[in-house]
Amino acid sequence: MGLREIILAAIALLAVYIGYQLYRVSRVPRAPASAASGEPGETIAEPGTAEGKVDEDEAGEAGELYRFDLPPPAVASASPVPDAFQHELEVRQLRRELEQQRTELADLRRALDELREQIRAPEEQADASVAPRGASPEYDEALVFARRGLDAETIAERCGITVAEAELVQSLARSQAGDAGTAA
């Protein structure tokens, strides 16, 4: 007996086994129409048995029981499938709306940051400006020198003003520095 004959015998044996299994499955009893409307999870036993119990001699040639869980009854008005589908649609819609809200919030935050920057720029320029509000522009340079701590004669020489004016500018710078120190 060669290898070819062994393979053919194995294929034939396998075909007979598959045929036998198909025959056994075809003998499984179908659920009656009244049992199809039972509760979910209800099991159906083979015919001729009471309460799903089968004697060993009634179990058939293979000694196995076939039990099937019945699906829940299909009710047209309260079907769980459309509810689940509807919920999924609502969830997707809510997610889209949430993403839209996040985008709008990010845009609003960017716009708010731009507005804050626009407000800060003039404030910083005003703080960094040489002359305080209400000061005469002809004494701006002298005020800068006074804040740096130069003496009155040097300020008068550099700015072309009298020494008395330079002393007044120095006292103004000291008073503004004192006001800034008490305000802080």
Kindly report, residue by residue over 57-86, the tens digit of the pLDDT. 444 554 455 555 656 655 555 555 568 889
Give me 31's structure tokens. Answer: 């659920």
What's the CA gap between 142 and 167, in Å, rounded?
A: 10
Q: What is the pTM of this model?
A: 0.29
DSSP-assigned letters across all residues of 121-156: HHHHHHHH-SSPTT--GGGHHHHHHHHHT--HHHHH
Neighbouring-strand partners of residue 43: 69
Q: Predicted confidence band at 107 (pLDDT cuts at 50, 70, 90)?
A: very high
